[in-house]
Structure 1
Amino acid sequence: MNHQADITRTMSAQGATLDVIQATPAALWGDARDACDEALRQGHAFVAILRGMEAFADDQVLTDEDRQRAARYRQAGDRHNFVLGRNLVHYLVRPRGIATPCRFSIGPRGKPFLPDAPAYNLSHSGRWVACVVSHDDAVGIDVETFARLKDYRDLLGAVTHPVERRCIEQARSEHGLTLFKRCWTRKEAILKATGEGLNDNLQGIDVRLEQHEPVLDHPMPLRLMHLTTDHDEATIALALNPSVPGVVAMFVGEPR
């Protein structure tokens, strides 16, 4: 991986490693694929997080159906994010050397997958697009800029478990919004890992806001992790099987 600017490693309280790679756009797509393959070879999960990479949105690797779907997006940003999501799956998840466009299958709970390939999950918000790849199907990721969020307190009743709500309401005012963002992204990551998507039982899940990296047993065994960036605009949460020993996260964007 010749284009990595920096690599750092941390060890969580649960024993999982987190390797963070800060990379320039030159890492797409060769270095990113090499890092993904090496992570999976070690039994780890790989996360690619793109910021401001609209120029790399290539619809030539999309099916005709997906190109038509992309063309229906009215906002250029939404169109780029959709195409970049398909690009991430094409270049990171599929077996090497396959040039034909991806054709996705849908699992029993509506979660897309590629037959005979690792599991993956996608998320995008604003100029951010993220993809997690793992050999374990129980994996989900959520990236949020919360650009349209007004007063988070209006959502507490619909979103939070009673324990979470007390934690947020008892926090100092400047930390309440941070805790709400943590709560929201953790829940989205969980529900994407389970394949359920957003449902009406958000209040029934306690994501243990007081813990840095909790391991849950409900709605299924999952470790929750947050991936921090040097940009304050995005909150990123990851949910994966607690047995996964580590995560390799590659952030790709223009140098600040």
Structure 2
Amino acid sequence: MPQRLPTPDGIPAQIELWQVAFDLDHGDDAGDELVLSAQEQAHARRYRRSDDARRFRCMRALLRRLLGERLGCTAQAVPLVRNAHGKPQLDGPGGLSFNVSHAGGIGLIAIAPGLALGIDVECSIAAGPEELLGMARQVLSPHEWAALPAPLDGPQFLRHWVAKEAVLKALGLGIGEHLQSIDIDLETHPRYQVFHQQPHWPAPARLHASALSTWPGHAAALAWIDA
């Protein structure tokens, strides 16, 4: 059952946050696939793991229902398209933004008018020190790398990771090629400071990120861009 989460302090009040706890021991909701487009159904079938396919169907169906309620149309009629980087968005002009993420046992959706949004959730990393360092080299900027504690703290690294992904999703950019272009200052937890030197991106002062409280064994973050 989807749950509307209270908007944390310091996050714009117009942002709606929704959480789903997946019950992967039972089958899909019979109505979920009925609201998906043919392309979305085909996308779900391409997942190698059945649990991943079920998470996708559940979250996409919920997204369509939530957007349909706000747009005054059926879930099936919500005009979803993908941008050049694969991020789902509404087709045509409109001020409603949203973003979706799911991992492990939960899924999260953020919806708001007038704000570009990004949300990310990840499971705790079960990795040894060397594997964790290898992941950090791909995610952290040179400045963040230089400030790493020794030994590397897994939960702290995960907070960096979800915050960076949330910011890049708010920017509408591909994740892999830009992770090292962003610096995240975790010292102001739960609100994070965001820095970058990309001339064509919104100024850092317009970029915001915040940790979200979520289930044990997961880390989550929300990002938004001031209009």
Q: Is the shorter-chain TM-score for this pair beyond 0.5, marking a shared fold?
A: yes
Query: Does residue 47 in structure 1 map to residue 17 in structure 2?
Result: yes
Once the two structures are aligned, what percentage of the paired residues are identical? 27
Cα distance between partner residues in 2 of 1:85 and 1:153: 32
> How many residue pairs were aligned?
208
For residues 189-226 of structure 1, give each alpha carbon's deviation from its aligned partner in whole angstroms, at most 9, with x where no partner exists: 01111111213342231111222112436453211111
Letter aligned with residue 56 of structure 2: F
Query: What residue number does 2:100 align with?
Result: 122
Q: CA RMSD for the aligned pairs?
A: 2.9
For residues 23-50 of structure 1, give each alpha carbon's deviation from its aligned partner in whole angstroms, at most 9, with x where no partner exists: xxxxxxxxxxxxxxxxxxxx51111121
Query: Does residue 181 in structure 1 map to residue 158 in structure 2?
Result: yes
Displacement of 1:104: 1.7
Task: Give the secondary-structure state (helix, strand or coil) at the position aligned to 1:190.
Answer: helix
Cα distance between partner residues in 1 of 2:176 and 2:5: 37
Larger deviation, residues 62-71 vs 203-212 = 62-71
Cα distance between partner residues in 1 of 2:5 and 2:122: 24
Letter aligned with residue 235 of structure 1: A
Structure 1 length normalisation: TM-score? 0.69
Displacement of 1:108: 5.4
Cα distance between partner residues in 1 of 2:87 and 2:223: 15
Cα distance between partner residues in 1 of 2:113 and 2:146: 36
Query: What residue number does 1:78 align with?
Result: 52
Query: Does residue 92 in structure 1 map to residue 66 in structure 2?
Result: yes
Query: What residue number does 1:135 align with?
Result: 113
Query: What residue number does 2:192 align with?
Result: 214
Q: Which has the higher contact order (CA 8 A, sep 6+)?
A: 1
**What are the ranges of 5 or more consecutive residues in structure 2 without an aligned counterpart?**
none
The structure-2 alpha-carbon separation of the partners of 1:147 and 1:63, relative to structure 1 and needing over 3 Å to count, comes to same
**What are the ranges of 5 or more consecutive residues in structure 1 without an aligned counterpart?**
18-42, 244-256
The structure-2 alpha-carbon separation of the partners of 1:143 and 1:100, relative to structure 1 and needing over 3 Å to count, comes to same
Query: Does residue 104 in structure 1 map to residue 80 in structure 2?
Result: yes
The structure-2 alpha-carbon separation of the partners of 1:9 and 1:73, relative to structure 1 and needing over 3 Å to count, comes to closer
The correspondence of residues 1-256 of structure 1 with structure 2, limited to 5 A, is: 11-12=9-10, 16=11, 44-53=14-23, 55-56=28-29, 58-94=32-68, 95-107=71-83, 110-115=86-91, 116=94, 118-146=96-124, 149-150=127-128, 151-170=131-150, 173=151, 176-212=153-189, 213-216=191-194, 218=196, 219-220=201-202, 221-229=206-214, 231-242=215-226
Letter aligned with residue 82 of structure 1: F
CA contact under 8 A between 1:77 and 1:126: conserved in structure 2? no
Displacement of 1:82: 1.2
CA contact under 8 A between 1:63 and 1:103: conserved in structure 2? no
Task: Give the secondary-structure state (helix, strand or coil) at the position aligned to 1:134.
Answer: strand
Structure 2 length normalisation: TM-score? 0.77
Letter aligned with residue 112 of structure 2: S
Displacement of 1:71: 2.6
Cα distance between partner residues in 1 of 2:132 and 2:159: 12
